[in-house]
Chain A
């Protein structure tokens, strides 16, 4: 019984399945539009964001974690001193997510009844005394942080490894945990894109948020209903494209950057086939049964057209038909930025799905850069 459950988990956690599942259910949990929200309500998913829901979430997580600890392979990877912060991150991320969603849904309910949100206070009371309230609490937090660091340093020894040897690359070679999502992107994208372009876009995108989402009507309190789209898209980027990838990179990537389930032994000799092809090969060699054209431009024209359409064709089309109201509300500048960032973010899951479904290596493959 235990073994078959473990096997099931191993299979399920492979990125192909887990990512697609996550991708499929994500927007029902965090509905960006009213259509999703209706289904969310019908299924009662919103009940997660209540006290009982929290108990449920954490019971499932903690029980699963504790049961899994009986497995030596799981133990080896989760209790590795390097990985302790990531386990903490996992739990704290869920906790804060739950906390904020709970407050947002509570406020939504109050607003629906015409009440003020929970955070609302009369203006003269919206002050906190520096001394003693602020300074005192900061002192307490400082002391507790020290306690935490001391205990951590006593209990877990520094995870030092062998001296660096230029002639010997450790297998697997992993980036620090906070970069593991970027490293995971390297599986799907050209290093130039995954290592340079994406990080830049992420930083620029985060900086751009206040300029794109200028609606101040809900500032100062938690609310989901009033800004579903933005919250949903942001959480998609944060939870799926970042935290999920960090988890995959940390726990599921083993020797040879092969994928290993949480209960699987990290066998350095595991064999996995990587038969990836470029879009041009799919079109010319597989579909048309021809040889590849010598001219790079001719060869890659399909990829170029598709990519251009993705970034330059989709936004105007949507503005014209599907998101007409949205476009008018945002204005062309903000709309373009919004679309650019969203499409950039979406390109990762799209590329992943294409990789798994049709073994797509690159849309455009040239000797100089690949997309």
Chain B
């Protein structure tokens, strides 16, 4: 073999020593970079969080363990068991020798038994083989069948013998077991009793042993450290992400060309999110603020089914603060995050997390069909604002597409308004009504300097409106009494939808307060119109504007005249400041410029000049007026003659939240605003014209931004931005939305109508509404209470007590006189289970008096049969009623039961007529306690409901004044009908069904 030798350095191209050095250095670098790589992989942000949380968990478990131990040890039962156990153990120790002998014997027998079991099992295995061999030989002719049979039989016999042996050993063992357990029986029984008492503590201790290394055995302590060392932690680490990641079934993330299952790893850091003990703990360990609604297993949104990012947005797969695409709520938080977490925006994540204040945008992903989303207050406010401000009129939004025009009709403008008023109003609506929802188009940041031009624009628009106005016959009002009018306005229910001039100038708007802004604020009517017009409007709103939402309150001529007198002549009827505002005079030069500008859009300059030459000034005004109304989109909100079918002018907002940021023009605010869509939305709502900043000199006036200013407050802007973020591209793969069951669909349709007709201004429905209640309280304090009560003072039974109960239950009208609550419009909770569908259907068409003492009137809304059906369905599905038919009930109008019921009904027993009307008969008790007409029960109420109502009124309508006569299901009058609760209640129900209009039972039975 030739010997290979390294050539001597003379022949070498490189110097070997220096090569070695370079090699050593590069190897060291290599090693260093590999260690760096492993370290980088190991040093994840979630790891320290998990370590810290483990300590928190251990501390919490330790303290609850010691609490639990103290609690248990303090119980008499435990002490008893413990002392008994001590004596039992002592006794057992006395028999130690006997016990150990018995145990030794038991162990021997155990061994013997196991030996025989094995012998038997082996023999049986051989036997199974022999059986197979025999079958193979006899059926398929493989080998000698006879010999095989012989072997099989021999083995079978042997196995049978062994089985007998085994069973004998088993019996012997069992006998010995008994001997042993006889000696230890008492001790074990007591031990079991003890461990039953300490079970909770034992569980905690076991948990603590896993959490707290200090409680581990030394070997486990070492393992506890080793399992989480870098590299070794690939096997079975304590700290990991996998245990906390949620793969959400049925929800996928859209990656453009593909959908992948949603994987959320948020809990890897938010370790306490599911545990209510961590409410208020520091970030990121704090518990979810609403575990009853989210995350927990029993809630409607369990984390296993919905994950986290389905609602919150963000990158669920991210396991670091930045890569999870957290988004700061404010500038301060952003700076804070940049400092603490080196936060920066993840530019390429399409759906970053919603900033906390916009979180409710996530609800809309599934709940977009609902009119109001339970406990999503910000989102609800935003949706209500969109409706109130009429955003949808200019900006198409799918979910709002069938809504009526939000503004009043201007079809007959000339019959109602005068031109000067219209000019001042368009110029500055807020000056006329502080609360108005008519936005400001003029005097804004981008056109205040163009006042000369805009004044003429307004003039032109007013000219068009008055030129095209259609005739409307205004009736002449009889002389009205303003004082009476005021009482009417404050009592019949006007204030459910309207506010007067006595409201706070700068209200904090809520969904509830917006219900009272359903109609315009009733101020300045003297400046705006005449008492005659108001009178005509009140008498028949539909004749002026067929599509109006103003209902008919069935006012008499005199009532209407009184109200008109109050509104026009009353304290808020005249706005002098507004009246004093200047009206621009016509400037023909500016008008010419405007007119020529519009003409030149469709023709050449020369043609435009020619056309202009033959136009009179009026022609110019009307022509430019129409163009301007088209330009500013007035027709989107108002019904304007000649522009009924014009297309809305705004950008569609249906998918605004998914719009790529590059499609939002930040213009010259680029450096001032955060480069995120919600910052843009916020700025747009704050000052819609601000994106014209720096362009006022270069843009022609006609190209300036036109979105008007709604003077929104920060909270309102936040709510609207929440909605904008919520308006996302429809997720076609959504499987967890609100199910499209008939129940949900009917309820949603009903909710839309309830919203459209503002039912919740007066009624509480689905635990919301009753905006008018405080106003009823005010009315009561001013008018009703001041007047002497008709018949008070002869209380015979515990009205007072009942009232106390009621006070506790009542939540609305805090601070208001609780007695005023009797005059509130009825609460409609449980209406579906209460009234008969047929009755409700007719009642909605023509309301009848059920509660004669109320001043508030149920208006006539002119609902179509379809709408009424929708509402009836809504109420019934809401209460899970069998619909549409109600079972007939057989009613007896005579006999023993009937007599008993009559007696119970009478003033001798239950005093029903003390509070309830029955037909024409008024109650005998105080007016504050009056209750609905019982003679209407037959047509109105569901039979089953009456029984349930009598059983426990508080359950059906918490806070009601109706007393419960069957407390806890026991009759308070056992002398009737053998004291059987159900029979008594049914008897009364049946009796009610016989009542006729005069409050007396009818002769014939009916249902």
Give me the interface of A with B, judged by CB distance under 8 Å.
Answer: 128-129, 132-133, 136-137, 139-140, 143-144, 146-147, 150-151, 153-154, 160-166, 168, 171, 265, 267-269
Contact = CB atoms under 8 A, between A and B. Distances in A.
Contacts of B13: 128-129, 133
Nearest to A141: B26
A163 B256 contact: yes
B796 interface: no
Contact of A140 (B7, B19, B257): B19
Contact of A143 (B7, B27, B348): B27
B2 interface: no
Given A132-B16, A150-B34, A161-B348, A166 B257 contact: yes
Contacts of A137: 14, 19
Nearest to B253: A163
A163 B255 contact: yes
28 contacts: A129-B11, A129-B12, A132-B12, A132-B19, A133-B14, A136-B19, A140-B19, A143-B27, A143-B29, A143-B30, A144-B29, A146-B30, A147-B29, A147-B30, A150-B34, A151-B33, A154-B36, A154-B40, A162-B348, A162-B350, A163-B254, A163-B255, A164-B256, A164-B257, A166-B256, A168-B660, A267-B670, A269-B665
Interface string B759-780: 0000000000000000000000
Contact of B26 (A128, A132, A140, A160): A140
B216 interface: no
Q: How large is the interface on B (under 10, 10 to 19, 20 to 34, 35 or more residues)?
A: 20 to 34
Contacts of B475: none
Contacts of A128: 13
A133 B26 contact: no
B135 to A, nearest CB: 63
A140 B20 CA distance: 9
Nearest to A269: B665
**Residue in A137, A163, A165, A267 with the greatest tally of chain B CB atoms within 10 Å:** A163
B348 to A, nearest CB: 4
Contacts of B254: 163
Given A129-B7, A154-B37, A268 B26 contact: no
A171 B663 CA distance: 11
A128 B670 CA distance: 63
Contacts of A168: 660
Contact of B12 (A133, A144, A147): A133
Q: Which 8 residue pairs across A and B have the least CB separation, nearest first?
A: A163-B255, A163-B256, A150-B33, A162-B348, A165-B256, A161-B348, A143-B26, A133-B13
B22 interface: yes
Contacts of A133: 12-14
Contacts of B23: 136, 139-140, 143
Interface string B650-677: 0000000000101001010010000000
A133 B40 CA distance: 35
B39 to A, nearest CB: 9
A148 B349 CA distance: 29
Contacts of A171: 662
Contacts of A165: 256
B33 A154 contact: yes
Contact of B22 (A140, A153, A163, A267): A140
A265 B671 CA distance: 10
**Residue in A128, A143, A165 with the greatest tally of chain B CB atoms within 10 Å:** A143
Interface of B: 6-7, 11-14, 16, 19, 22-23, 26-27, 29-30, 33-34, 36-37, 40, 254-258, 348-350, 660, 662, 665, 667, 670
Contacts of B667: 269
A163 B26 contact: no
B656 to A, nearest CB: 16
Contacts of A162: 256, 348-350
B662 A268 contact: yes
Contacts of A144: 26, 29
B33 to A, nearest CB: 4
Contacts of B256: 162-166
A308 to B, nearest CB: 46
**Residue in A139, A146, A147 with the greatest tally of chain B CB atoms within 10 Å:** A147
B41 to A, nearest CB: 9
Contacts of B29: 143-144, 147
Given A143-B27, A150-B33, A269-B665, 6 more contacts: A136-B14, A154-B37, A160-B348, A163-B254, A166-B256, A168-B660
B283 to A, nearest CB: 25
A136 B23 CA distance: 8
A267 B662 CA distance: 11
A346 to B, nearest CB: 39
A330 B139 CA distance: 96
Nearest to B260: A163
B352 to A, nearest CB: 11
B667 to A, nearest CB: 8
A57 B7 CA distance: 42
A165 B30 CA distance: 40
A162 B662 CA distance: 14
A140 B12 CA distance: 17
A163 B254 CA distance: 9
Nearest to B23: A140
Contacts of B36: 150-151, 154
A171 B662 CA distance: 9
Contacts of A143: 23, 26-27, 29-30
Given A129-B12, A162-B348, A150 B37 contact: yes
Given A144-B26, A147-B30, A168-B660, A132 B350 contact: no
A298 to B, nearest CB: 34
A161 B40 CA distance: 22
Nearest to A159: B348
Contacts of B670: 265, 267
B971 to A, nearest CB: 70
A164 B257 CA distance: 7
A162 B12 CA distance: 54
A147 B33 contact: yes
Nearest to A152: B33
Nearest to B39: A154
A150 B350 CA distance: 30
A128 B258 CA distance: 56
B985 to A, nearest CB: 65
Contacts of B665: 269
Contacts of B350: 162-163
A304 to B, nearest CB: 40
A128 B7 CA distance: 12
A360 B329 CA distance: 53
Contacts of A136: 14, 19, 23
Contacts of A139: 23
Contacts of A153: 37
Contacts of B22: 140
Nearest to A153: B37
A137 B29 CA distance: 16
A185 to B, nearest CB: 27
Nearest to A139: B23
A371 B637 CA distance: 56
Contact of A132 (B6, B27, B257): B6
A132 B11 CA distance: 11
Contacts of B27: 143
A147 B23 CA distance: 13
A3 to B, nearest CB: 15
A361 B37 CA distance: 53
Nearest to B12: A133
Contacts of B33: 146-147, 150-151, 154
Contacts of B662: 171, 268
**Residue in B34, B254, B348 with the greatest tally of chain A CB atoms within 10 Å:** B348
A150 B670 CA distance: 38
Nearest to B665: A269
Nearest to A165: B256
Contacts of B257: 163-164, 166
Nearest to A148: B33
A161 B11 CA distance: 54
